[in-house]
Structure formats: C-alpha cells, structure tokens
Amino acid sequence: MNNETIFIDVILPLSLPNLFTYRLPVELNDDIQIGQRAVVPFGRGGKLYSALVKRIHHTPPSEYQAKYVESLLDDQPIVNGKQLKHWDWITDYYIANPGDVFNAALPGALKLASETKILLNSEYDKANIAELNDNEYLIFEALEIREILSLQEISEILHLKNVHKIVKSLIEKRAIIVEEDLKRKYKPKLIPLVRLTEAANIEENLEHIFNDISRAKKQLETLMTFIKLSDRYSEEIKEVKKADLQKAANVSSSIVTELVKKNIFEIYEVAVDRIGKYDKQLIGDKTLNDHQEKALVEIKTEFEKKDVVLLHGVTSSGKTEIYIKLIQEAITKGEQVLYLLPEIALTTQLIVRLQKVFGDVIGVYHSKFNENERVEVWNKVIDYEHTKSSRFQIVMGARSSMFLPFSNLGLIIIDEEHENSFKQFQPAPRYNARDASIVLAKIHSAKVLMGSATPAVETYWNAQEGKYGLVEITARHGGVQMPEILCADVKEATRKKKMKSHFSPLLMELMEEAFKNKEQVILFQNRRGYAPFLLCEECGHVPECKNCDVSLTYHKFPNLLKCHYCGTNKQLPPTCGACGSPRVTLKGFGTEQIEEELALYFPDIKVARMDADTTRTKNAYHRLITDFEDKNIDVLVGTQMVTKGLDFDNVSIVGVLNADNMLNFPDFRAFERSYQLMSQVSGRAGRNKKRGKVLIQTYEPYHPIIRQVIENDYIGMYKDELGQRRKFKYPPFQRLVHFTMKHRDRDKLNEGAREFVLALKAKFGERVLGPDFPVISRIKNQYIKNAMLKVEREISVKKTRELVMEVKNNFEAFSEYKSVKITIDVDPM
Ligand code: ADP
Ligand code: ZN
Ligand code: ZN
C-alpha cells in the first residue's frame, strides 16, 4: 500500500464557483479514482455530501486546512473522463458553476446529501429481505414505521456518522427510493386484457371447452374470436385487450365475465404506457423509398467530410426510418447511439416504433422515470464500457440524457432540433442540449445528425455556411401530398357577422365534412383556460394577479380566475372591482372555451382537450393520445402540445384558431416560432393517402409568415429572418447573453440593476442593452429587470465568461444591492 499524502479536488453538488480540496485517508490511497463519489463534510455544520472526484494530486490547499474524506462510495468511477471534459465545456460556455452541471447531470439518487429524504419503495419484493444486512434491515424496519427519513436521521438511528454507503446499497437493492420520486409518483393507467387460464390453455382441455359451451352461442363466438385475435396458432401470440375482444365478437362485458366464471378466461391488467423490457418479436426495419435512399447516401457522403449534418425533410418524409438505418450501422460497429428528442415527443408511439426494430437494446431516459429507474439506466450505460453488453447501447431521451456515462458514442441523432425544449431554462446550467451534444460528439469523435422539417434559423445558417452538411427531402413517404393550407380572414368574417363563436364559416364547413367522413380534427389555440382576461366595459379595469404583473385568466372549470405564473386563484367577481359596474365581460379565448363551444355546435361529436390543465398527471397525456389513436375522440383541441411529432393517420383537418397572438409575441424569434408551430401542426394533417387540409384563422391574411406557411416556403422565411437578424444584430450573427435581475423591493432592484449594468458596460461598452422591465415585470412578488449583452462571434467565449464572472462576483461580494439576484443565460431561447 502506498503511504503518500493524497489530496483530491471534488465537485460538490452545490452552486459554488470553485472545486474543494480534501485529504484522503491513507487507507483509501489504493482505491481512489477520478469519477468516483467521495463522501465529504462541507460547511459549518459539517454536513456530509457525496461529491465527485475531479482531480487527484499532492498539493494541499493554500487558503484552508483540508478536511478528510469520510469514505468512497464507488468501487468504480460512475463518471468518465469524457463526461468531465464535457462538463467543463458546459460550465465555461454557459457561465455556470461546476456544481450546477454536476447537479444537472446526475440523477438525484446518485447525489445523496444529509437532507436527502428516503422512503420505502412500494414495489420492493419483501421475499428478498434476506439479502439486506443488519444495518440495512434496521433502516428498512424504521422506514416501515416512520415512512420518511432523512440521511441525517438514519445516521442517528444507526449511531453512524456516515451512512451514504448503506443508503446506496439499499437503493441498488431497490428497497428504498429517494424523495424526489414523491413529486413524480404517478399511477399508470391500467387496461384489462384477456387470456386463457392455465388450464384452458392446454390443447385437449380447450377442445373439451369448445364442446361444453357449444350451445352458448355468444360465449362460443367470444372464445373463437379470442383465438383469432390472439393468433394462438402462430409463432407470436398477441395480447388481447378486453375492449377489443368485446368489440370484435360484438358481445357485452357480461359474456366475458361468464367465461371468467367458467375458468376459461382470466383478466389481467397492464399499464398502457409501460416502457419495460421489450420481449416481443422484432419486425425489422423498412425498405427505404427512393428519396430516403438518396438522402441516406448523401448523409453518409457528408459525414466523410463533416461531423454534423442537418437533415431538412418535410413532415412525414420518413426521417425516422433514415435514423434507424444509421443507428443500425453504428451499433454493428459496436458504437453507442444517443437519440435526443424533445420531452413531449417522447411518446410511446415513437419508442415502440424503435423497439420493434432494436428490441431491448434501447434504453429510455426521461422525466417520467423515477430516480431509481434513472440510476438503473445510468449504470447499464456504464456497463457497456466493461461488458459490451448490448442492452442500452442505444439511448432515447430528452435533453438530460446527453449526460449519461457514454464511453464510446458513435452517433447522436437530434430529432426536431429546432425545439426549444432542448434548452434548459431553470436552474443553471442553462444549456441547449442540441449545441452541447455537438460538443459531446466531438469529444467522442462521433457524428451528429440533426433532423427537422423547420430547422432553427441558426442551424440552417450553419448548414448554408458549410459548417454542417445539408441534406434535404421534399417529398412525403408514399406519395402522400403535403396538406392544402387555407386561410380565413377573421376580420372580414366578423364584419359580415359570419363567425360562429370562434369558428369561421370555412372552418365549420371543413369540420362538418370531416365528421361526415368519420375523420378526425385537430384544433390548435396556444392559450389555455377559458378567457385570458376579464374587462370592465365601463372603466376598462382588468383584474390582475396580486403577486404578478399579469392579468388573470378565467377558467370555467373550476370557475376561478387563475394566474398562470404563480398559480394564485380568485373568485370571479360579479361586478367590477374598481368601479362596481356589472358590465364586466370575458375577453379573448383559450382552449377551454373552444372545447365548450364546439360541443354546442356539434353535440354528437366527442371533443377532448390537451393542454397543461388536462395533462397534469404524467399519464393523462398518453391516455389522450391513445384515445385519439383509437378514434374514441373526434376533435382534439390543444395548445403547443398538439403540434409535436404525433403521427395519427385519420386526421384530415387541422385548424389554427388564432395565428395572430403568436405573430405579435414580443420576441425576436416570434416569426420563426410562428412559422415552425404552424408548419408542424399542419404536418399532423393527412398523413395517409388522402390530402389533408389546414385552415389558419387570422386578422392578417397577408402577413408574410402566413403566406410562407401556406406556400411551404421555409427558405423564404429563413431569408427574411436572416435579413432581420443581421440588421438588428441577433443570432446567428451575434451571441447573446441575457441577464435577469430580481428583487422583492422595486427600488432596490432599480438601483442594483443600474449598478450591475453600468459595471457590465464598463467592460463591454455599447454591446450591453438595458436594464429594462420586461413585459411581465413582476412574478411571485419579485420585480424583474433584464439586460442583454450582444457579442460578436469573434470574441472568445472564454474572454466573455471571464469578464462577466468578474462583474458578477464583484457585484455579489461588494455591492450595497447584492441581495438583487442575478441569473445568466447564454444563448437564450
Ligand atoms: P417524419 O419523421 O419525417 O415526420 P416518419 O418517419 O414519422 O416521418 O414517417 C411518416 C410515416 O411514414 C410513418 O408512419 C412511417 O412508418 C411511414 N414510413 C416512412 N418511411 C417508410 C418506408 N420506407 N416504408 C414504409 N413506411 C414508411
Ligand atoms: Zn401570479
Ligand atoms: Zn369598472
């Protein structure tokens, strides 16, 4: 054993600018490795944290006396060198602290701290209890009584200071979970399925059964239908949903119940959206059509010269099938693949589509998973390095999956690269997974394929400039036509009194036709609630939130005025709160109102709504999609959620109810976003043989963006936008760094913001704009001011970071107004 004095620099799971140095007890000298977790005390109370070992050396810190490491949690590193390099880049580029990145990267269950709360895992199989050692069992018992314990309390129970290892082991044995799961707890929707009982499943018994029930016509019919639906005599026996069976056999539930009573059938339940081990037969991939084939060849040619390629293909051109081919090639070479997509597009639809080709080689990583499941994916991805086990060689996930411990990435797919959900808004690091994963790919010498029907202006520019390869597909798969896009002039229709509530005559006509043909309709309105505000016709008063500087939105259910920023509720006042007049009216409209009014005009039509209010539980979203897929819903009314990557084959009409409030949004990306949203939602129409129709309702039918959407003129939009961006010094020509300053006291904020921005101006001069109050200048009783820094591309990221940090550190250390909180957002979206 070596006896030298070793120091380690660790990243604590706290937002601190520096790494911290600890001294290693000599008995751990032979075990220490970079990327392991070390349990270390930090702060005055000596709280214990699991920190990450970043550097191993022999130099004691000069500013303080190094404390000792308590213990090491891992035998093997859980984070590798490539990740640490990636973290460094994120820390620098996004002007964040190492602990911020550490926190964003690791699942909660890998970041134990004294205050971490622990509870029993309700799914733990008590039959395994013998595998717990004495201390583990004690904790288990204590949790049965107390339900929730903090690490601190556990350490008191065991009379042990350091209990991280025990807790870690209990997590790995799946006996406990960390509390973050509490918030995420969701009940999966269970659907009943039918199968033969064990006895009935034996061939000769089955023959007897047929004889026995031969007189009970309906039962016989049901059994035969079951045999057919389940494909009993084929290689791959299928699961049969109870509802499907009843429908196919045209019988009621009571007949099935009879068969259950006779011990022929049994009912079992499965979660609709389980994303478990895929044990069904693989169906292989599809043969590419000519356009796809050509695109694939071009992508590969581009990859010979370039690391990043943009695949610009219209909606439904079959981009996913191309990804599948490239993924196949990468995994055959023994490489890992990361398939990044926006959270909302991570539907069972898409996952199952890939699972059918790749089976359980695919791991899925997203927020719906609890912390333990995330840790399992994490560990399986590490395993790849050591065992080359193919399980989870491919990972599909939302933005945080780029933090998984890949050791040998060959390919990163970024689907719907224009989506702003790749950007993390809160907390720091405010990274964009699209851009950060390009850096990750570089570290692995991997290739990146970005796909979109409506690429971000910045991305398309990078392709035009030759930084990325560019491959285009302009035809939909199977010769399906692009939808026909029509426009309704709401101003005109209103003047002629032809509007039926919010529906133009043309929209009414199109919907009627769709319903007659048993086709489905999607209506998009990007406001939730019933009406965005209440207006006094007498004095013009609009009720506002008492905590925020916004008007309150009326929600018919549960009949309240709500603030969309802080959640405050208020009763609907019968008269104006200012002048007392009863002449108060609801103004504008949201999804809730559309849903309601639709039911008035089409009483026989089933309408459902998909917005933040109806999808609060994780599963509700999937339920809506399944119901729409199964055609239990005729019209889906929704916000942005209905625009994303869904693939329904029976939607013939898509209506955009109000294009104007998107177009008028005060943001330099408003036009680009409007174009993307309208094109994406249009892409939901007519994905099979029949040509779909899209109707855009607007007050400005000749708005250039509306015309470009109608003509599917992405390039036109891109050129116009690029002109504006160049003129007004926005990305891609300049880099933006956005500062938000907040304080409860308006005067303090004003003073602090002035001082901070002056200090920035001293470094950056004219490049700094602000401070200004944003449109919404107060949220949750915090006043807000913004400032913007616009820097030329040529100025180094490092220099910018240095100067910004200097100003910020100075302000936070010495300013009279240092209680003003400052957040930094690089490349804001
Ligand atoms: P995109 O991602 O470009 O919007 P998708 O990959 O979802 O398009 O393809 C649209 C539809 O066409 C899907 O239902 C898909 O299964 C089908 N499809 C695409 N390519 C093929 C192919 N080569 N053979 C058979 N079906 C295909
Ligand atoms: Zn509020
Ligand atoms: Zn009034």
Which residue's C-alpha comes closest to atom 10 of ligand 1? 316
- Whether 427 and 697 have beta carbons less than 8 Å apart is answered as no
Ligand nearest to the CA of 566: 2
Q: How many helices (H) and strands (E) does the chain have?
A: 26, 35
**CA-atom Rg of the chain in angstroms:** 30
Q: Report whether pLDDT(502) > 80.
A: yes
Distance 548 CA to ligand 2 centre (A): 4
- Report which ligand 1 atom has the smallest distance to the Cα of 292: 23
Interval 82-100: pLDDT, tens: 999 999 999 999 999 999 9
Interval 680-697: pLDDT, tens: 888 888 767 778 899 999
Interval 382-414: pLDDT, tens: 988 887 777 889 999 999 999 999 999 999 999
Q: What is the pTM of this model?
A: 0.83
What is the β-pairing status of strands 190-196 and 176-178? unpaired
Helix ranges (DSSP H) in 564-653: 591-601, 618-629
Residue by residue, what is the 3-state secondary structure of 354-387?
A: HHHHHHHHEEEECCCCCHHHHHHHHHHHHHHHHH
Name the nearest CA neighbour of 471 among 672, 291, 687, 331: 291
Measured at the alpha carbon of residue 649, what is the angle toward residues 647 and 651, in degrees to the nearest 5?
Answer: 95
Instruction: Tell which one of 324, 646, 647 to mutate to probe ligand 1, the residue whose CB is within 8 A of the most ligand atoms.
Output: 647
Instruction: Tell which one of 285, 321, 454, 684 to mutate to probe ligand 1, the residue whose CB is within 8 A of the most ligand atoms.
Output: 321
Cis amide prior to 771 (ω within 30 degrees): yes
Handedness of CA 127, 132, 138, 144 (dihedral sign): negative
Instruction: Tell which one of 289, 317, 320, 650 to mutate to probe ligand 1, the residue whose CB is within 8 A of the most ligand atoms.
Output: 320
- Report which ligand 1 atom has the smallest distance to the Cα of 287: 23
Q: Report whether pLDDT(184) > 50.
A: no
Distance 318 CA to ligand 1 centre (A): 4
Which residue's C-alpha comes closest to atom 21 of ligand 1? 318
Interval 203-228: pLDDT, tens: 888 888 988 898 889 999 999 999 88
Interval 487-499: pLDDT, tens: 999 999 999 999 9
Name the nearest CA neighbour of 164 among 106, 121, 112: 112
Distance 777 CA to ligand 3 centre (A): 24
Instruction: Tell which one of 311, 316, 476 to mutate to probe ligand 1, the residue whose CB is within 8 A of the most ligand atoms.
Output: 316
Q: In this structure, what DSSP letter does residue 293 have? A: H
Distance 793 CA to ligand 3 centre (A): 52
| Residue 318, phi-psi category: left (phi > 0), alpha (psi -120 to 50), beta (remainder) | left
Distance 581 CA to ligand 3 centre (A): 5
pLDDT at 240: 86
Mean pLDDT of 630-652: 86
| Residue 14, phi-psi category: left (phi > 0), alpha (psi -120 to 50), beta (remainder) | beta
Extract the tokens encoding 483: 């939808």
* Stretch (H or E) spanning 313: strand 308-313
Angle between helices 714-727 and 457-464 (to 10 degrees): 90
Instruction: Tell which one of 290, 418, 476, 477 to mutate to probe ligand 1, the residue whose CB is within 8 A of the most ligand atoms.
Output: 477
Residue 56's contacts (CB-CB under 8 Å, 6 or more residues apart) are: 6, 7, 8, 32, 33, 34
Helix (H, G, I), strand (E, B) or coil at 40: strand
Mean pLDDT of 732-739: 96
Q: Report whether pLDDT(185) > 70.
A: no
Question: Which stretches of 733-796 are assigned E, i.e. beta strand?
Answer: 734-743, 768-772, 778-779, 782-792
Interval 740-775: pLDDT, tens: 999 999 999 999 999 999 999 999 999 999 999 998
Extract the tokens encoding 825: 């957002």
Burial class (CB in 10 A: 0-12, 13-18, 19+), 613: middle
Distance 551 CA to ligand 2 centre (A): 9
Residue by residue, what is the 3-state secondary structure of 63-85?
A: CCCCEECCEECCCCCCCCHHHHH
Mean pLDDT of the chain: 90
Interval 511-523: pLDDT, tens: 999 999 999 999 9
CA distance 342 to 253: 40
Interval 518-576: pLDDT, tens: 999 999 998 999 998 999 999 999 999 999 999 999 998 888 999 988 888 888 888 99
More confident residue, 360 or 548: 548
CA distance 698 to 701: 6
Residue linked to tokens 């050509």: 294
Which residue's C-alpha comes closest to atom 16 of ligand 1? 318
pLDDT at 576: 93
pLDDT at 352: 82
Distance 550 CA to ligand 2 centre (A): 7
Ligand nearest to the CA of 575: 3
Q: Report whether pLDDT(178) > 50.
A: yes
> Predicted confidence band at 182 (pLDDT cuts at 50, 70, 90)?
very low
Distance 611 CA to ligand 2 centre (A): 19
More confident residue, 520 or 643: 520
pLDDT at 193: 87
- Report which ligand 1 atom has the smallest distance to the Cα of 320: 6
Interval 104-135: pLDDT, tens: 999 877 887 777 888 888 778 888 888 899 89
Ligand nearest to the CA of 562: 2
- Report which ligand 1 atom has the smallest distance to the Cα of 288: 23
CA distance 642 to 477: 22
Distance 745 CA to ligand 3 centre (A): 29
Residue 533's contacts (CB-CB under 8 Å, 6 or more residues apart) are: 542, 543, 551, 552, 553, 554, 586, 587, 588
CA distances, 582 to each of 347, 538, 554, 577, 578 (Å) = 47, 9, 17, 10, 11
More confident residue, 32 or 161: 32
Cis amide prior to 505 (ω within 30 degrees): no
Ligand 1 pocket: which residues have CB below 6 Å? 286-289, 292, 313, 315-321, 477, 647
Name the nearest CA neighbour of 763 among 797, 794, 729, 807: 807
More confident residue, 573 or 329: 329
CA distance 591 to 523: 9
Distance 539 CA to ligand 3 centre (A): 4
- Whether 695 and 656 have beta carbons less than 8 Å apart is answered as yes
Distance 470 CA to ligand 1 centre (A): 20
Extract the tokens encoding 487: 């426009």
Which residue's C-alpha comes closest to atom 17 of ligand 1? 318
Q: In this structure, what DSSP letter does residue 322 have? A: H
Extract the tokens encoding 310: 């943009």
pLDDT at 452: 96
Q: Percent of the chain at pLDDT above 70? A: 95
pLDDT at 271: 58
- Report which ligand 1 atom has the smallest distance to the Cα of 683: 4
Rounded to an integer, what is the distance from CA 380 to the centroid of its chain?
A: 22
> How would you label 289-305 residue by residue, b for 16+ Cβ within 10 Å and e otherwise?
bebbeebbebbbebbee
Which residue's C-alpha comes closest to atom 15 of ligand 1? 318
Helix (H, G, I), strand (E, B) or coil at 276: coil
Handedness of CA 643, 438, 90, 827 (dihedral sign): negative
Distance 828 CA to ligand 1 centre (A): 33
As a 3-state breakdown, the chain gives helix, strand, coil percent values, each rounded to 5, of 40, 20, 40
Which residue's C-alpha comes closest to atom 20 of ligand 1? 318
pLDDT at 278: 54
Indicate the length of the chain as a whole number.
Answer: 829
- Whether 8 and 59 have beta carbons less than 8 Å apart is answered as no
Ligand nearest to the CA of 573: 3
Mean pLDDT of 774-788: 93
Q: Report whether pLDDT(424) > 70.
A: yes
Angle between helices 371-387 and 164-172 (to 10 degrees): 90
